[in-house]
Amino acid sequence: MRFNLMDPNYLEAYDMRDSGDPIGGTRGFKKIETVQRYPKPAGFPGPKFAIGWTRYHMASLHSFLTNIVEDRPCSPGLEDGIRVQEAMEAAYRSAELGGWVELPLISDCGLGIAD
């Protein structure tokens, strides 16, 4: 899988199971369309417009404000971000050590996050 920020309406996937024959082979990256599927009112601008900062920002604002109005916790939150950072740190350590790294790396960071 790869994503190109210069062509954000597509995600590219490579499948080694496709035929790699010089004639008639279909191996290579294939573009998968990823146009918006945001609920209203975050659907502005329309799905035919190129994806850009405005679309992501509006969807993010809509989600944030809806959660405030409905008195729900926002997601992803700080705890989610900490866990993602922890997984990234574990991947770096694993590469350095050449083996598995146990998670969680931290048991509590003062936010009530426990194992």
Each residue's pLDDT tens digit, 6-58: 887 788 998 888 887 878 777 888 998 877 666 666 566 666 666 666 767 77
20 & 47 share domain: no
Is the pTM value of this prediction over 0.85?
no
Domain that holds residue 30: 1-34
Distances (CA, A) of 32 to 1, 12, 39, 91: 10, 6, 21, 28
Total of domains in the chain: 3
pLDDT at position 63 over 70: yes
40 & 64 share domain: yes
Residues of the chain by 3-state class (helix, strand, coil), percent to 5 = 30, 10, 55
30 & 41 share domain: no
51, part of any domain: yes
8 & 29 share domain: yes
pLDDT recorded at residue 36: 66
Average pLDDT of the segment spanning 77-90? 90
57 & 83 share domain: no
Mean pLDDT, all residues of the chain:
80
pLDDT at position 68 over 90: yes
